Amino acid sequence: MTTVTYTIPNISCGHCVHTIKTEVADLAGVQTVDASADSKTATIVFDAPASEDSIKTLLAEINYPAAN
């Protein structure tokens, strides 16, 4: 299991957090998603077939690209 934390500058409200949690949780292999508007971060725990590339691609597609 892999845990990553991304800075996501576009997170500005609870709706943003909800969108990120819902969309990323739908990726196969993702175990948990915790996002915060206060810290503008998302912490994601995942196993294969999910990967950092697939997570970052999805975040960019939903207009919440990771800054790191």
**0.85 exceeded by pTM:** yes
Which band of pLDDT confidence, cut at 50, 70 and 90, is reported for residue 61?
Answer: very high
Which band of pLDDT confidence, cut at 50, 70 and 90, is reported for residue 27?
Answer: very high
The domain of 34 spans: 2-61
Q: What's the pLDDT at 68?
A: 67
Percent over 70 (pLDDT), the chain: 99
Q: Is the pLDDT of residue 36 over 80?
A: yes
| Structural domains counted in the chain | 1
- Whether 39 is covered by a domain: the verdict is yes
CATH of the domain at 11: 3.30.70.100
Element (H, E) at 41: strand 41-46
Query: What's the whole-number mean pLDDT along residues 8-34?
Result: 97
**Cα–Cα separations (whole angstroms), residue 60 to 1, 22, 52:** 23, 15, 12
- Whether 68 is covered by a domain: the verdict is no
